[in-house]
Structure 1
């Protein structure tokens, strides 16, 4: 079902403004879970796990880039040899 254009703009404005209208009131004491983790010293475990996951993703992307680079070189060499054989 397509909406007429004169209804799209007010609807879009309502959607964009609704997040501020329906937002929760700010918490005055802070986040209890984060405060408890900080108090117990476990926040560093959370930080270490997030850092390890991030480092793993970065290493994976670097390896993937190098493998794709090797494949591109192989394809380029194969097409070069095929054009030389034909010509």
Structure 2
């Protein structure tokens, strides 16, 4: 399952490791932004429920 050290050295030498890091960073950033958006939306709905009670 884990990449061999030789594979990691090859990816590092060809610069592809930066592509992998960039893709992982983009996915992580997307998840964080989605969670922030979801939190704001839920907070707005919670405030509307409190106002109606």
Normalising by structure 2, we get a TM-score of 0.89
1:44 matched residue in structure 2: 18
Unaligned runs of 5+ in 2: none
Q: Does 1:77 align with 2:48?
A: no
| CA radius of gyration, larger in | 1
Cα root mean square deviation, aligned? 1.0
Which residues of 2 match residues 17-28 of structure 1 at below 5 A? none
Query: How many pairs align?
Result: 50
| 1:16-70 Cα shifts (integer Å, max 9, x gaps) | xxxxxxxxxxxxxx71211110011111000100000000000000000000000
Structure number having the greater helix percentage? 2
How many angstroms apart in 1 are the aligned matches of 2:42 and 2:25? Answer: 26
* Cα distance in 1 between the residues matched to 2:47 and 2:38: 14
Give unpaired runs (5+ residues) of structure 1.
1-29, 80-87
Structure 1 consecutive aligned stretches of length 4 or more whose deviation exceeds 3 Å: none
Structure scoring higher RCO (CA < 8 A, sep ≥ 6) equals 2
